[in-house]
Chain A
Amino acid sequence: MANILVCDDDREIVDAIEIYLSQEGYQIYKAYDGEQAIEILKKEDIHLLIMDIMMPRLDGIRATLQIRKSSAIPIIILSAKSEDSDKILGLNIGADDYIAKPFNPLELVARVKSNLRRYTSLGSMNPDSRLIHRVGGLVINEENKEVTVDGEPVKMTPIEYSILLLLMKNQGKVFSINEIYENIWNEEAIGADNTVAVHIRHIREKIEINPREPRYLKVVWGVGYKIDKQ
């Protein structure tokens, strides 16, 4: 199994994370500041790093910058800073994911899995088929009408599949509720309706780790929905 380094100055949090991730079968290494984390990274073969930002001696941002010079392993930042600006900063300097404290342990585990899968197995998959659409860990295969998230297959209704396919085919384009409706049902939309919105929510619940903070299917409030290009 993969080796995960958890770095936080709060020992209880590190211990708790260790409990959760150990249950999933990961080998856990523990560090309590940035310098220790870098030391361990040098010695051990680490596959994923979970790191806090506010730490003594060397903070998470600097540590990330330093690690990124020599290593491409997934880094998940775990911070009490929940502002958008903090998240953008973290992702920009090379972190792969950003989880705000207090976090849902299950979400953390899910994200660790997702990142690890992409890092270890999916990175080498051949994406060249025209019938396979991929955004990050989300893959939709038109041939067998199969949807996988980080390699895990997801069950979908035909309408949900159609909506997702529409959005996947037109990555980056924002579709309004009416446009989606007209495309899927092939009928003219009479008045706005929340049917599409409900379907979208269901799709999100299936493909997203945290539907409130979607990674793939994003809501453009007051305009429509889209899937970003990656």
Chain B
Amino acid sequence: MEKKRRKKGANRLTLGIVQHVFMALAAFIVIIVFRDSIIRVDNYQNDSFYRVDLFDDSPAFEETEVYNEMFYNSVSDLVTLVVLRNQFETDGVYDGNKLIDITAFVNRREYTSSCPVTAVYYLDDLVKWGKTDAEMFLYRMSKKDFVNYFNDNLLDIGHFYLDIDGSLRYSWEEIEDRTQMELSKLPEGTDASQYEEDFLDTYLEDQFNQLQEVYGNYQQYNEAQLVNLAFSYIASHMDKPISLVDVDGEERVEVQMLQEKYMTADTKLSPRDIAHNWIEYCQLENNIIEVLDSLKQNYEIYEQKIRTYSPQNTNLQYMFRLQGENGEGTSCTNLSETFLALEENEIDYYFQNLGKYLIYSVRDIICESNVWIRDEDLYNMVDTYSYAYPDDTVIWIGVPERYSIENDIFAAGKRTFDRIVLHIRDYTMAVICCFTVWLAIGIYLTFSIGRYDVRSGKYRIHLNWFDRIYFEFLLLLIAGLFLIGRIGLQILLTAVANGNYQGNNWLIRFFSQFEWSLGVTGFLYGFLVSLSFCTVWYSLVRRIRCWNIWRDSLLHRLYVKIYRGASMVLYHKSAAVRTLIPYNCFLLVNLLSIAAAYLVRRNPVQLACVIIGIIILDAVMGVYLFRNNVEFVEIVEAIKKIRLGEVSYQLEPEKLHGENQEIAEDLNHIGEGIRNAVATSVKDERLKSDLITNVSHDIKTPLTSIINYVDLLKRENIQQEPVKTYIEILDSKTQRLKQLTDDLVEASKISSGNIVLEKERLNLTELLNQSIGEFSEKFEELHLQIVFEQNSREAFIYADSRRMWRVVENLFNNVCKYTMPDTRVYIELQKENHMVEVTIKNISKQQLNIKVDDLTERFIRGDESRTTEGSGLGLSIAKSLMEAQGGSFRIDLDGDLFKVTLQFPEMEDDGEGSREDMKGKKAPESERKS
């Protein structure tokens, strides 16, 4: 048995592992397929990817959305790339000696120049400079040095003027500005040039006068004050933060200035040498920084894109022909040099023969393409770099039908498409198959849990420790596993989506590092998911099969604890514990509730809640007590009924509660016991009676022969003395035997209740008179004088007349047998208190040394000789019959006085009699003594 079980367990284990493996396979396939559907792209600064729609039903890769997206993004990239190539290249090759005019570069998108000075650097220098970032250094100097940094004569009087308030002001532009302002005030049509001279004359004169005034003032200021004025002006116009610091009691100016790493290309100057004043310097410096930043960025993009779109790395072919208005043009391409010399229509022809192509003319804004791309998108792309693309620019982009380059996105996409998308149905089928097998094994294992025991018709289930842990913990475990599974899935999906992105997440880094890890992890993930799911599921199934979910739960344990505690108190042996503890609890709760009600008396809502709570609690208690009492009354009622003989009465314990239920069950058992005992005894009596009847029948047949032949012997008239005596003895004994068998049958029938009473209204006086009449001769023979005294002529009773005759006959026979001859026998009939009482008194001829009770016992007679006539059953039969008819029978002995008393309830009159009759009719025919 044990061996078989082990073997079965091992089989199950193997099957379970197979099941997990199938799930793992399914997960593996899914992960691999999804991984291949992601095509990673090296892009500037961010890692982007294309997702091949696995369920795309396009016939070829070139028709898919992904292809379109790739193509579109490539066009966008190329538009940028060509701009950058023009920036960095000369004749299609990177040219480090290319000259970059800073101001022109900054303003390449606009056509006006905002900076009056510029610097020209070598491209290489700028790129290198940009790579290390622009470094600044802190320049500290006195105010005077600051003001005079670019020009010593900045403190010349010419830079000062008086404002409206008459105070001295500084500006190096004041004069020109004022002149311009005056000129703008002239009326229309005036010859400005002529007027200018006049104006200048007057103005200069005016200025001179003013200058005198200024000079007067100027003279009043010392140098420091003048420097301050100039400093304030410059500081407020500079495009750069400066700060004043106190160094050793002297005020110093601190300013951040660009650390120049490279000098300009031609003149080998620094910006400081080029600028004429602080304002110009600041502008130039800012421009340089901007160019450095811009070039640094552009160079990176350029480097990456030129690599990506080099003929070795992409299947894409492009050609940009940029032609300015003046006819001079440059071309940008990744095709061979020979294409540069081709005419436009020849290039058109070449590209039109490629698989997918696009030809765009900037001037015409016409796009010719067999790729799905919108004209306005193209326009927007080109328009962003409109400064770089002259109007006559023509763009050719195409992808050949056959991908000669293996590692670009198009080839990868096509590989994925051909390998997976076209066979996605097979992969799906494989996954579904794996899953179906997994499910099938799962279902089989679910239904084959446990061993069906034919003998008991139940499932035998072996529960391991895992099935024994509390159900709540199992639920927690399920929740935990679910959470962990979700997190795992998220990580996995992120890893799949991110491909080989070198992110800072160590997990993703790990996955991208090792190509195979993703598949293995998918496999493991599937295995673990299946394992944990199956473990929990089978445990759950086993629990359900055993029905011990509730039993093995914490709640159940708690419930049992509480239930046991309550039971211990409620069914405690000591009535004090049983009653007082719950009662005190009840009181306490009530008191606490009253206290709570007092505390919250100001808050009507809470008060109402507390009061309703008390009322409900008390009502529940009241109902409980009421129910208990009702049930108790029911039980008492049942006990009474059983006591009164209704032993078949049964309580319904299901309807009762608690202890009452137990009592009711016990009571039912007692009732049942009594019923069984009564039934058994009735049955025994009847069997006995039947036995006696049958035996007596069998005795009667031979007895008949004996009587007959004894009688025949008597007729033989035998005179031989002893023989004659013998025959006499035989005769008397056979007669006695006859009597005995009859009496025996009757006695057993009466005592077993095997008789049917036919009760009727009868006159006991009449009956006694009739009986005396019947016995008159017998009494006379024995010289017995009957004295019949009655206080009423009629005494009606309700009884079976023939049985009553039998009673009286037995009694009279008794009288005849045992009364002393020559004595009086008193028969009295009295009606008293609705009772009819008959007494028969006689004097015994023998001493009555016997107990009264024994007289009515069977086979007991007054004399012990047992030689006289009679069976000894007479009194017993009489007593039984009396009792069967609802009367009473009593024997009293007083010396030799033998007194029998019969008592019957009187039947009042006819009216009542008929009522009694009706009553009698219902029960009587079947009325039996039981």
Contacts and interface: CB of A to CB of B under 8 A. Distances in A.
Nearest to A16: B708
B774 A101 contact: no
Nearest to B697: A80
Given A105-B711, A176-B763, A223-B801, A197 B701 contact: no
B766 A192 contact: yes
A200 B777 CA distance: 12
B700 A101 contact: yes
B796 to A, nearest CB: 9
B766 A191 contact: no
A194 interface: yes
Contacts of A224: 766
A22 to B, nearest CB: 12
Interface string A1-37: 0000000001011001101100000000000000000
Contacts, number: 116
B312 interface: no
B802 interface: yes
Contacts of A17: 708
B766 A222 contact: yes
B762 A222 contact: yes
A66 interface: no
B765 interface: yes
A198 B770 CA distance: 8
Contacts of B786: 194
A102 B704 contact: yes
Contacts of B802: 221
A157 to B, nearest CB: 15
Nearest to B808: A221
Nearest to B799: A222
Given A81-B697, A101-B704, A221-B802, A200 B773 contact: yes
A193 interface: yes
A197 to B, nearest CB: 2
A105 B708 contact: yes
Contacts of A191: 790, 793
B405 interface: no
A82 interface: yes
Given A10-B705, A12-B705, A13-B708, A223 B763 contact: yes
A195 B774 CA distance: 10
Given A81-B697, A194-B769, A222 B801 contact: yes
A199 to B, nearest CB: 8
A173 interface: no
Contact of A16 (B701, B705, B762, B767): B705
Contacts of B704: 10, 13, 80, 101-103
A197 B776 contact: yes
A177 B769 contact: yes
Nearest to B796: A222
Interface in A156-213: 176-177, 191-201
B801 A221 contact: yes
Interface in B591-640: none
A41 interface: no
B701 A10 contact: yes
If over half of B's interface residues share one DSSP class (helix, strand or loop), that class is named, otherwise mixed; here it is helix
A132 interface: no
B20 interface: no
B764 interface: yes
A40 interface: no
A222 B763 contact: yes
Given A16-B712, A222-B801, A194 B707 contact: no
Specify which of A12, A54, A195, A196 lies most central, judged by the most chain B CB atoms within 10 Å of its CB. Answer: A12
B773 A220 contact: no
Contacts of B764: 222
A14 to B, nearest CB: 10
Contacts of B697: 54, 80-81
Contact of B738 (A102, A105, A194, A197): A102
A177 B766 contact: yes
Specify which of A81, A199, A221 lies most central, judged by the most chain B CB atoms within 10 Å of its CB. Answer: A221
A219 interface: yes
Interface in B751-803: 762-767, 769-774, 776-777, 786, 788, 790, 793, 799, 801-802
A223 B769 CA distance: 10
B437 interface: no
A80 B696 CA distance: 9
A13 B709 CA distance: 9
Interface string B719-753: 00000000000000010001000100100000000
B805 interface: yes
Contacts of A192: 765-766, 769, 790, 793
B570 interface: no
Nearest to A85: B756
B804 interface: yes
Nearest to B801: A221
Contacts of A101: 700-701, 703-704
Nearest to A14: B705
A10 B709 CA distance: 13
B770 A197 contact: yes
Nearest to B786: A194
Nearest to B706: A102
A89 B634 CA distance: 50
Contacts of A105: 707-708, 711-712
Contacts of B712: 16, 19-20, 105
A193 B786 CA distance: 12
Contacts of B804: 221-222
Interface string A102-116: 111100000000000
Given A13-B704, A192-B793, A198 B766 contact: no
Specify which of B706, B709, B799 lies most central, judged by the most chain A CB atoms within 10 Å of its CB. Answer: B709
Contacts of B769: 177, 192-194, 196-197
Nearest to B794: A192
A16 B701 CA distance: 13
16 contacts: A10-B704, A16-B705, A16-B712, A20-B712, A54-B697, A80-B700, A101-B703, A102-B700, A192-B793, A194-B769, A219-B770, A221-B804, A221-B805, A222-B799, A222-B801, A223-B763
Closest 8 CB pairs of A and B: A197-B773, A222-B762, A222-B767, A16-B708, A80-B700, A221-B801, A194-B772, A102-B704
Interface of A: 10, 12-13, 16-17, 19-20, 54, 80-82, 101-105, 176-177, 191-201, 219-225
Given A197-B773, A224-B766, 4 more contacts: A80-B698, A194-B773, A200-B773, A201-B774
